Amino acid sequence: MNKSTIKYILEALENGEMKADDALVRLQDLPYTDIGHTKIDNHRSLRNGYPEVIYGEHKTTQQVVDIFQAMRKKHSNILATRVSEEMAVGISSFCPTIVHNSVARTLFFEYEPLPETPSSIVIVTAGTADLPVAEEAKVTARALGNRVNMIADVGVAGIHRLFACMDSIRLARVVIVIAGMEGALASVIAGLVEIPVIAVPTSVGYGASFGGLSALLAMLTSCANGVTVVNIDNGFGAAFAASQINHLNL
């Protein structure tokens, strides 16, 4: 149940096109749907601007299927991240129109396309190996109704590759910078643009990368202004925050 649905119900009530009792029935499940192991937050699109997103990791396939089916009854778009191959196969078997992106590890069921934003989010990666995180961000940002542009493999070891792309980056309303190892790309880009920079450290690297810790600390201590940071490998979170920014004042 999204904002426009709720607005429609309230207007229908106001206009006498719907009776109070009927409106009540349709609105009463607003708080959440309790399916035992999970309390689905139907309210979230009202508070956060988008329905709850299913986080697949640490859940069983059966739990994800249950949540998916309960949400589908609400006629909302459904995005699931960190899904296993088993989950993708399981849900596709009864919902063949769902889109599975195996690089991003996402499932997306689009009940109703959202209007696309006129402004865009640009996703920039330091290396080829950062692509799974970038794909998660891209799928998420698009599911949330954003125009998205992706620029891959412009890490600072060959900084001329970045400069060749700066004009495209500056065209966006917000930039997501995805980098592992030492994560220097976030600082370099933030020093060159006026738009908000959301940095995503990735677990790409070895040894003293400590699973993405080096990039995380580097991005948090960036000498450039305006860098904000999300969790390691959190392409979804970066895209969600970028979408909030990209939807301001539309």
Which of 131, 137, 139, 177 touches a copy of itself (CB under 8 A)? 131
Q: Determine which helix (DSSP H) or strand (DSSP E) holds 212, and give its type and residue range.
A: none
User: In whole angstroms, how close is the CB of 64 to a copy of itself at the nearest point?
Assistant: 9
Say if residues 186 and 196 touch (Cβ distance below 8 Å).
no
What is the distance between the alpha carbons of residues 92 and 107, in angstroms, rounded to a whole number? 9
Stretch that binds a copy of itself, among 9-17, 20-28, 90-98, 150-158 (CB under 8 A): 150-158
Retrieve residue 96's tokens.
Answer: 């063949």
Examine residue 101 and tell whether it contacts a copy of itself (CB under 8 A).
Answer: no
Q: Which residues contact 229 (CB under 8 A, 6 or more apart)?
A: 198, 199, 200, 201, 216, 219, 220
Stretch in the footprint of a copy of itself (CB under 8 A) among 20-28, 83-91, 108-116, 177-185: 177-185
Q: Among 116, 157, 168, 171, which residue interacts with a copy of itself (rule: CB under 8 A)?
A: 157
Sorted by sequence, the CB contacts under 8 Å of residue 244 that are 6+ apart come out as 49
> Around Cβ 208, how many Cβ atoms within 10 Å?
9
Among 36, 96, 97, 115, binds a copy of itself (CB under 8 A): 36
Looking only at residues 179 through 238 of this chain, which bind a copy of itself when binding is defined by CB under 8 A? Answer: 180-184, 187-188, 190-198, 201, 203-234, 236-238
Q: Which stretch binds a copy of itself (CB under 8 A): 6-14, 69-77, 91-99, 152-160?
A: 152-160
Helices (H), 49-179: 61-72, 85-94, 131-143, 159-163, 166-171
Single out the residue of 73, 159, 168, 171 in contact with a copy of itself (rule: CB under 8 A).
Answer: 159
Among the listed residues 148, 173, 178, 235, the single contact to a copy of itself using CB under 8 A: 173
Is residue 30 classed as helix, strand or coil in its secondary structure? coil
Of the candidates 53, 90, 114, 136, which one interacts with a copy of itself according to CB under 8 A?
53
Helix (H) or strand (E) holding 106: strand 106-109
